[in-house]
Structure formats: C-alpha cells, structure tokens
Amino acid sequence: MAARWIEEIAGVISRIINASYTLLWRVFILSFLAIFISPLYADDGPPGNNDASLEPKKPLIWFVWDLPPEFIHRGPWKGQGYADKFLAFFIRNLPQYDHSVRVVNIPRWSREVLKPNRCSVHLWGGFFPGELVQSKPYSFTPPHVAIFHKRHQKRIGPKGTVVSLEALLKQPDLKLMIMNVDFNLEAGQSRYPLLYPYLKPYLGAENLIEQYSTENIIDLNLLAHGRADYTLGYPSTIRTQMRVNNLPDEYISYPLKEHNIYKNVYVACRNDPMGQEVIDKINGLLSDETLLEFLSYHEEWNDGDPDFRRTTIDYFITKRPLLNVVE
C-alpha cells in the first residue's frame, strides 16, 4: 500500500518538475524526494527486519558484599578484590544484558536473592536448595586457618605448625572471636559449615565470642587490643588486612587439623528461565584459560600460595578427583 501511494506521489511530482518551474523549485522538490520518500520505502519491508540492537536488554542485577579480599568497596584497593575481577570478567563477556551491581548485607541478600533477574557471582553451594540454579564450580574458598596475635607464638608454635581447633577450644584461657556462627538460618547455612561440629558445643561459652554485625570478618585489631586471642580466617586474611586496613605485621596464621578442605564456589541465579539462561552462558565462559586467569586473581592476595595453586590446577585443569574438595 505504501509503495502504491509513493508511486502516485512520484507521478505528480514528475509532472510538476516537467513544467516550467524555476530551477530553485526543482531543487526543493528533489530534496523532498530524498528526505521523505526514502524512509517510506525502508518501512515497506517485511516484518521482523528491524535492528535487534534496538530491543531493550534484559536487566541483570549482581549481588556483592563487603568482604576483602573477595570484594573491596572503599579505599585505594576498591574494585581490586578477586571476586570483583570475576564479576568484571562476566559482565564484560555478557554484553547482551543490562548489568547493575548491588551491595548487600546478609539479611538483604536473603530477602532479594529469589527475586527475578538476580545473580550472585561468588557463592557456596547449598543456599536455598532447588530455588537457585548454579553454574559449574569455577573456584573455591581455601581451608580456614587460626589467626593469632604474635604474642601467642611462643605458646602455639612457629609458623607452619598445624593446630587443632578442638584442642584450642578446650583451653578456657584462650578466647576465640568469630562472626556469628548461624549467620543465615533462612538459607540453611552456617558461616563455618565444616567446622560447625567443633564450634557448636561451645556456643554461649565464655571462650567463644560471636560478633553480631553487618561485617563479614573479624578486624584483627581486636586481637591486638586483647578483646580475644585468636580468630578464624583464610590464608589471605592477614595480607589483606595489612593492605586494606594498614595493619602492622603482628599476626600469624596456623593451618587447622580439622579443615584441610577446599569448598567449591559457583555463580548462582534464581532458578527460572532467565536464571537458567544466564547460567548456561556462564558455563560456556569457563574455559581452562579463564580458570587460570581466575587463579591469578587469587594469587594477588594469597602470596602465591603453592597449595592453592596445586589444588586449583589438579581439580579444575587436570580434572583429578580430590577428596579435600567438597561441594
């Protein structure tokens, strides 16, 4: 229909042009043809040929939290955490979505994680079983360590000494300070799932201090000030707090006899068609090259821990089954 109308207009204009109009009028008519008629022909094509790039992108909200060196939200190291870099990689390689990042604490994460278009980039398995869909594992959290102020080094032992959490908890004059153990009952998770059997008998005891706050890790300054004698952290915790919080080199970590375990980490989204679509695309990005790049992000914070490197390569690259890697 548009084409027939255009032909009639063109005929009229042709007769006008053939008349004895001035050159200026002819130029005006030809300009009209170029500006007005060309778009009409463009619109006369079959449906479905519109530029797909004009379609709005689906929104995708990523949850992050304040937990250096995983995510760092302030100071000179802002955005340089290893999970900050994981997230930047995924956003860069998923341009088909309209990405936004939302900083949450645990209660807010629990309220919002099951809403549409939400994903968490660095999450243990087991949260909200059946309601979240997980990617393939792509990294892990390393074994916990016991962290003491160095004033206890003579009593506990030199660096590299393996200590028993169970034995430490039996010593009433040594106070352990940790974040609240049952931190997410709604999601069915403990903050220390593998150490929970050892901690549970001491919940409420004087030598186990639970700290309830929106923070996710104990400030090692509390050990220096005598509020407690030791805490639980990761091999990267001391290095991280020295960098991010400008702490002096006054702390020492010890491997735990009860926890030589690496716990898998996943991308997790709401278990609906959108979430499943995102996870499928994430899985397609997890090549050996990507996993080695992710390892390098960890090594920026764990001093190139040889055990972490060996375990990562054995499990993710050479695909060796390892008894000390758990879901």
Residue at token pair 């104990």: 218
Cα separation of 31 and 232, whole Å?
A: 77
Determine the average pLDDT of the residues in 312-323.
97
225: how many CB neighbours lie within 10 A of its CB? 10
Side chain identity at residue 169, one-letter code: L
Tokens of 108: 């807010």
Residues 110-137 pLDDT 10s: 899 999 999 999 999 888 989 999 999 9
In tens, the pLDDT along 11-49 reads 545 554 454 444 444 444 445 444 444 444 344 444 444
> What pLDDT sits at residue 107?
83
pLDDT category of residue 214 using cuts at 50, 70 and 90? low
What is the model's pTM? Answer: 0.77
Residue 194: band (very low, low, confident or very high) from pLDDT cuts 50, 70, 90: confident
Beta strands in 138-203 (DSSP E): 139-141, 145-149, 176-179
pLDDT of residue 179: 87
Residues 251-279 have a mean pLDDT of 96
Closest CA to 265 of 116, 156, 142: 142
Percent of the chain whose pLDDT exceeds 70: 80
Q: What is the pLDDT of residue 7?
A: 54
Closest CA relative to residue 265, chosen from 134, 107, 64, 123: 123
Reduced to 3 states (helix: H, G, I; strand: E, B; else coil), residue 185 is: coil
